[in-house]
Structure 1
Amino acid sequence: MTQAPARRTASLRRHDREIVALAVPAFGALVAEPLFVMTDSAIVGHLGTAQLAGLGVASALLTTAVSVFVFLAYATTAAVARRVGAGDLQAAIRQGMDGIWLALLLGMAVITVVLPTAPALVELFGASRTAAPYATTYLRISSLGIPAMLVVLAATGVLRGLQDTRTPLYVSVTGFVANALLNAGLVYGAGLGIAGSAWGTVMAQCGMAAVYLAVVVRGARRHKASLRPDAAGIRASAQAGVPLLIRTLSLRAILMIATAVAARLGDADIAAHQIILSLWSLLAFALDAIAIAGQAIIGRYLGAADVEGAKGACRRMVQWGTAVGFCLGILVVLSRPLFLSLFTSDIAVKDAALPALLVVALSQPICGIVYVLDGVLMGAGDGPYLAGAMLITLAVFTPAALLVPVLGGGLTLLWAAMALMMTVRMLTLWLRSRSGRWIVTGATR
């Protein structure tokens, strides 16, 4: 009678160790990523307002372009983890190389589009006449680093699939430091201005990609995996990424609609919205770290045909997501006045943000469940369902958000619509997890 509880306790502890070992380094790597933009902004900001405005426009374009291809990390993590679970490390690394080759091809395609159209893209994003030349310069130079950025995404997915989130943490932190030093030296030491900032970022990204490639190549040689591009493998990686691309684009559309609605509410509301959105993104890093652990762990269990292990890990990660969500929600409630004071002294902005932040706080446990189940289904390779679920969420959110100005609920009602969006996502993901249809074992789905 006492053996069953003891086994359950041991199983929970094993899952906890796995989650912590993968999630904590993943969180550090995720936090390091936005520091690149913050460093560039701090250094370029001292050059002048026009330069900083130009950087803002160019960075928004680059961030959008790269985030669209985040499926390179997600799909690669799941595919590699399955093969690790099946005990075939050679095939796992070979699968990872297919993702890296796809990243290189996509990166070169993006360059061919961005270089000639940079002025038009900058104008489309509404850059002023004084800021546009700086934005175009930064965008054109930085676009040369997009292949490296996409390789970093794919290679990060390879290492996560291999159950290694420490190496991405070390590379991200080193890349951040190198980026800061290169930017400062080229912008001020070499006198290159905003172009120096762009070149510094390109060099840092290329350096990160080179380190990742060295790690993957070393693993390939150890396990005698081919490094040559394989058309069938690259095509399979692209096909696996399409549903996740649809999911990502749908999520980006939701965020864009929310920002557009906030802009219609007035200057104070859009300012408050941007502050809240920055906090929401920061909270997402903590929850996404658990999701990343979920991708790697679930993929490995399913590759090993360990159905009970996959179910147990899923249940435990949902508990983690819920608990972390509750803690984050309490933290938001307690820190609201201090947090807002860091960004603004405008009373109107604070008045608009305070009640909306309560909605954000209350929705954090829901967000925790959403991120975890999203990671579980990604790890299972259930991309088509994730794409369909996100399209349903977009269809529910859009009319709800567009009704906010009509109903006169202000920013609080808009973030209530965001909470509704997360609730719809939670329901669709929970129903899928309960159905068990995501459980497909074997080295490939």
Structure 2
Amino acid sequence: MAEKNDGCPCGNPTRFPFSIFFKDARSALKMDELGVEIAKIALPAALALTADPIASLVDTAFIGQIGATELAAVGVSIAVFNQVSRIAIFPLVSITTSFVAEEDTIMNSSHQMQGPTTNSENKKLLELHNIKSESLDEESIVTSYEKKRIPSASSAIIIGVVLGFLQAVFLINASKPILSIMGIKSDSPMLYPAQQYLKLRSLGAPAVLLSLAMQGVFRGFKDTKTPLYATVTGDVTNIILDPIFIFVFGLGVSGAAIAHVISQYLISVILFWRLIEKIDIVPPNSKHLQFGRFLKNGFLLLMRVTAVTFCVTLAASMAARQGSTTMAAFQVCLQVWLATSLLADGLAVAGQAIIASAFAKMDYEKVTATASRVLQLGVVLGVVLSILLGFGLHFGARLFTKEAGVLHLISIGIPFVAGTQPINALAFVFDGVNFGASDFAYAAYSMVLVAIISIISLFVASSHGFIGLWVALTLYMSMRALAGFWRIGTGTGPWCFLKGIT
């Protein structure tokens, strides 16, 4: 009797899947065809992804000149805003990138067949990849001379706008109780500046979520240059407006929030203008929208991103409870930690887009080669970042604050911020690789398990103060990387084909 295959495209296991991590390792930095393709996607994506944290770092640097209380207050508000934003938009961006890459690849392939393809032929291609054929008739998949109609892109934009308005209403009306949960009580001197900053920055939530949804669409087209141009334009505007609003107009933390909001709306306008030149974002009717697909996979990633961001937000809350000095130091270390780690997310974006396209074409050799290359590059990037931060942060800490107590705690955090970079890089790249394989269920359930362990470790380690928080965060990132290694290394789920590669 034949052994059950469980949907694996390459039959029964015959090889060691973990060998993918060492495949052609000597060529990791080689600029061959694959290396160039990865670089063209990853470099602009990495710069775009780090632009917003860098803008937050600039906010942090300017606000740090006002005082430690304001610095700590804004740190809590940024943590809250980022937590809610990631919960709302991260699942949408990740799903959109994979769906758009998949649909665009299949549609391009259908048009390259001999002669015009029939509607039924196109439907077979789409059904092969679990795309509902009834929502993609000939009218929706045929591209015109100027524009494409990609149903998942239209769906993502609508969902992004709705989520943005809901986030704004939620944060503006619930700012005080949320900050209280984060450890800022009604008698705390941090409450007023934190509430000011959070309410004003929440006005930009619709623009933030819409622009991120559109970035997911562009990534699916393997176009990361357009989001980079838009993001850099917006964030340079933010950097220019910061000192004007904070110091010249004397608005303090409110000025920093207003500058950030203006920059986010500028980014969304630029992206929308470029996107309507590329695709027809208005579907013929509602049946072409794929809300069912988004909701099914979005719920899984919602579980995941809630678990991911809750750990970091919980750590920030525990730092806030230890006082403004600890929170100020934690904010500086955390912003640097996240800003540099997000460089690896550029590799994750490249891996996701290329792997999703390769899976759509069932080109498993390309899948394997891409996964190997981006993971190896992730290790290299992590080591480089570790060295740079190990030396640079000792001298750069004074850019954020002059207070001796805060600087002392930052010096304690430097070994963790710098030393975890290779682990962080692998964790981010593993995310992109598995998202490219549409392995959303494993990504969700494994992250929930990691979060449970991390939350317990945070409560235990927090009794050891500032250093305990960073020990727990190091464990958290290590387990994230291990979960990604385990899935691919064991050749399970969509990676079962690795056991049959010859």
1:49–1:357: structure 2 CA closer, same or farther, 3 Å change rule? closer
Separation in 2, partners of 1:92, 1:308: 29
Which amino acid is 1:437 matched to?
A: G
Q: What aligned pairs does 1:289-304 form with structure 2 within 5 A after superposition?
A: 289-304=346-361
The aligned residue for residue 380 of structure 2 is: 323
Please, which moves more after superposition, 48-57 or 360-369?
48-57
The aligned residue for residue 129 of structure 2 is: none
1:182–1:31: structure 2 CA closer, same or farther, 3 Å change rule? same
1:86 matched to 2:121:
no
CA contact (8 A) 1:183 1:196 kept: yes
Separation in 2, partners of 1:430, 1:235: 30
1:19 matched to 2:19:
no
Q: What aligned pairs does 1:13-412 form with structure 2 within 5 A after superposition?
A: 13-38=32-57, 58-68=77-87, 69-88=89-108, 93-121=150-178, 125=182, 126=184, 136=195, 138-181=197-240, 198-221=257-280, 226=283, 232-260=289-317, 272-335=329-392, 337-343=394-400, 354=411, 356-404=413-461, 411-412=466-467
Q: Which has the higher helix share?
A: 1
CA deviations 1:96-133 (Å, max 9, x no partner) are: 11111111111222233344444554555526677656
Separation in 1, partners of 2:392, 2:248: 40
From 474, 480, 484, the counterpart of 1:429: 484
Separation in 2, partners of 1:203, 1:350: 32
Query: How much has 1:346 moved relative to structure 2?
Result: 6.6
Please, which moves more after superposition, 170-179 or 354-363?
354-363
Separation in 1, partners of 2:341, 2:57: 18
Separation in 1, partners of 2:236, 2:436: 31
TM-score, reference length from structure 1: 0.81
Aligned residues: 431
Query: How much has 1:18 moved relative to structure 2?
Result: 1.6
Which amino acid is 2:443 matched to?
A: L
Separation in 1, partners of 2:237, 2:468: 43
Query: How much has 1:53 moved relative to structure 2?
Result: 7.3
1:356–1:201: structure 2 CA closer, same or farther, 3 Å change rule? closer
Please, which moves more after superposition, 110-119 or 46-55?
46-55
Separation in 2, partners of 1:310, 1:347: 51
Separation in 1, partners of 2:195, 2:217: 33
Separation in 2, partners of 1:38, 1:366: 22
Which amino acid is 1:403 matched to?
A: V
Secondary structure at 1:98 match in 2 = helix
TM-score, reference length from structure 2: 0.73
CA contact (8 A) 1:217 1:227 kept: no
1:113–1:230: structure 2 CA closer, same or farther, 3 Å change rule? farther
1:193–1:11: structure 2 CA closer, same or farther, 3 Å change rule? closer
1:258–1:16: structure 2 CA closer, same or farther, 3 Å change rule? same
1:230–1:142: structure 2 CA closer, same or farther, 3 Å change rule? farther
Secondary structure at 2:150 match in 1 = helix
Q: What stretches of structure 1 of length at least 5 have no aligned partner? A: none
Separation in 1, partners of 2:198, 2:326: 30
Q: What stretches of structure 2 of length at least 5 have no aligned partner? A: 1-23, 109-140, 498-502
1:115–1:259: structure 2 CA closer, same or farther, 3 Å change rule? closer
1:66–1:128: structure 2 CA closer, same or farther, 3 Å change rule? farther
CA contact (8 A) 1:287 1:372 kept: yes
Separation in 2, partners of 1:344, 1:48: 8
Which amino acid is 1:169 matched to?
A: L
Separation in 1, partners of 2:256, 2:388: 35
CA deviations 1:301-321 (Å, max 9, x no partner) are: 112221110111001111101
Query: How much has 1:77 moved relative to structure 2?
Result: 0.9
Q: Which of structures 1 and 2 has the larger relative contact order (alpha carbons within 8 angstroms, sep 6+)?
A: 2
Separation in 1, partners of 2:55, 2:49: 11
Query: How much has 1:167 moved relative to structure 2?
Result: 0.5
Query: How much has 1:330 moved relative to structure 2?
Result: 2.5
Separation in 1, partners of 2:252, 2:469: 40
Which amino acid is 1:418 matched to?
A: L
Separation in 2, partners of 1:260, 1:185: 31
CA contact (8 A) 1:93 1:225 kept: no
Which amino acid is 1:417 matched to?
A: A
Q: Percent identity?
A: 28
CA contact (8 A) 1:73 1:153 kept: yes
1:65–1:162: structure 2 CA closer, same or farther, 3 Å change rule? same
Which amino acid is 1:419 matched to?
A: T
CA contact (8 A) 2:72 2:325 kept: no
Please, which moves more after superposition, 332-341 or 241-250?
332-341
CA contact (8 A) 2:100 2:153 kept: yes
CA contact (8 A) 2:68 2:324 kept: no
